[in-house]
């Protein structure tokens, strides 16, 4: 398998966050982009259109029904399409270069991670924030294990768990072997 490899929509921290897990030779990166707890909370709260549909009568009910079908179809599409590899959201920021070597990608990502870590954190409640991008060199990782599409390891101060799913579990194992994280 050729590195670097990106596992898109990888879950982190007990599936609290989703993001891009990138495996390179000797370094793993994680770029969170979605707070799933916050997303679930938004889905369960009534939308702003509920008051509008009551005022508009049958037309409002039709709009509401169309919105319900749209959300259901979008959710079904995400499940059927499944997670992908090598299509990270970092492409839109110009950080993911197709065909780049592992060293070139590490140079790009290290610069980006350093810039993002220097940014001041927003003053919002902890549960509304996303973690900053993460970088894990193999020398700092202990107890690396892969089982059923889940990567677990420990660093000096924390235990990390990433889930890529059963479909991509074999690819994750191959990428970790190629990157020198497992035997």
d(CA 170, CA 47): 40
182: CB partners within 8 A, 6+ apart: 144, 146, 173, 176
pLDDT tens, 44-72?
A: 555 555 555 556 677 777 887 888 888 78
Question: What pLDDT does residue 68 have?
Answer: 82
Instruction: Give me the helices (H) in the chain, please.
Output: 36-44, 49-56, 58-81, 102-118, 169-179
When pLDDT is averaged across residues 120-126 and rounded to a whole number, the result is 67
Q: Above pLDDT 90, what percent of the chain?
A: 51
Question: What pLDDT does residue 65 have?
Answer: 82
pLDDT tens, 132-175?
A: 999 999 999 999 999 999 999 999 999 999 999 998 999 999 99
Contacts 24+ apart (CB under 8 A), 156-159: none
Using alpha carbons only, what angle is made at residue 105 by residues 100 and 106, rounded to the nearest 5 degrees? 150
**How much is the mean pLDDT over the chain?**
85
Q: State the burial class of residue 77 (Cβ atoms within 10 Å of its Cβ: 0-12, 13-18, 19+).
A: exposed
């Amino acid at each position: 398998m050729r590195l670097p490899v990106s596992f898109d929509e990888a879950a982190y921290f007990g599936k609290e966050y989703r993001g891009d897990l990138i495996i390179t030779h000797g370094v793993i990166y994680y770029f969170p982009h979605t707070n799933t707890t916050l997303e679930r909370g938004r889905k369960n709260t009534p939308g702003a259109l509920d008051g509008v549909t009551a005022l508009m009568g049958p037309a409002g009910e039709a709009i509401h029904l169309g919105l319900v079908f749209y959300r259901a179809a979008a959710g079904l599409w995400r499940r059927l399409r499944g997670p992908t590899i090598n299509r990270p959201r970092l492409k839109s920021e110009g950080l993911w270069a197709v065909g780049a070597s592992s060293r070139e990608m590490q140079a790009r990502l290290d610069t980006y991670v350093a810039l993002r870590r220097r940014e001041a954190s927003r003053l919002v409640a902890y549960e509304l924030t996303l973690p900053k991008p993460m970088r894990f060199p193999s020398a700092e990782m202990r107890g690396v294990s892969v089982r059923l599409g889940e990567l677990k390891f420990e660093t000096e101060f924390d235990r990390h768990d990433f889930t890529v799913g059963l479909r991509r579990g074999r690819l994750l194992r191959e990428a970790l072997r190629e990157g020198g994280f497992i035997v």
